[in-house]
Structure 1
């Protein structure tokens, strides 16, 4: 059985809902292993910590620390600089395993796992 390790960068409006949806899937094959969010006082950060998910204040630090143990990194920060930096880190470290997923693809996955586009927290 293949296991997919997921990390989420950005736990704001979209990221927090996405985290909850992924946790609700509750499958052994899909595991959220880390999250990154600069605002540590958010309920979604507290939830992640309660679930034993590694927490980082910065997505770049998360990617550097976990390197290729992340299969999929959902970039839900909405920040073009962070997105560019994440790509740079992947190239600098030679990480060819981690897939960086932007928000439009996250939206597609949201629709598939929740069966509803109307619930997506734009």
Structure 2
């Protein structure tokens, strides 16, 4: 069974992160959904690869069908929406991975540091 991943925020960092995950061919991992409001290259890549582009609320509605949500928006209010939405839905399964975890994953896949475009938002 594959680890189901959602990515919220497909700007410069999130779009490149999506590309890295797709190119990695890492077994046991599937990008099940993404969320991006803008017309970014990352959104276009997701659409071209047949990955559903959904709202944050639609991703939350997937409940425990998503194992990890990478929050790459750099916006504290989005992280709060994710946490509160999971709590309201009783989702104790899904992990919200902040940018620091995406940076770790990025470094493991590429052996390079990702661009640092957002202020340190903490967890």
Indicate whether the TM-score tops 0.5: yes
Count of aligned positions: 116
Q: In the TM superposition, what is the alpha-carbon distance from 1:22 to its structure 2 partner?
A: 0.3
What SS does the corresponding residue of 1:6 show, helix, strand or coil?
strand
- Partners of 1:4 and 1:29 within 8 A in 2: yes
Gaps of 5+ in 2: 117-123
User: 1:38 matched to which residue of 2?
Assistant: 37
Gaps of 5+ in 1: none
User: 1:101 matched to which residue of 2?
Assistant: 97
Aligned equivalents of 2:27, 2:65: Cα separation in 1: 16
- Partners of 2:9 and 2:71 within 8 A in 1: yes
CA deviation profile, 1:42-94 (whole Å, cap 9, x unmatched): 221111011111102x3233222x22111100000111011011100111111
User: 2:86 matched to which residue of 1?
Assistant: 90
- Partners of 1:73 and 1:98 within 8 A in 2: yes
CA RMSD of aligned residues (A): 1.2
**Are residues 1:62 and 2:59 paired?**
yes
- Partners of 2:68 and 2:97 within 8 A in 1: yes
- Segments ≥4 residues shifted beyond 3 Å: none
- Partners of 1:60 and 1:82 within 8 A in 2: no
User: 2:9 matched to which residue of 1?
Assistant: 10
Q: What pairs up with 1:69-88 in 2 under 5 angstroms?
A: 69-88=65-84
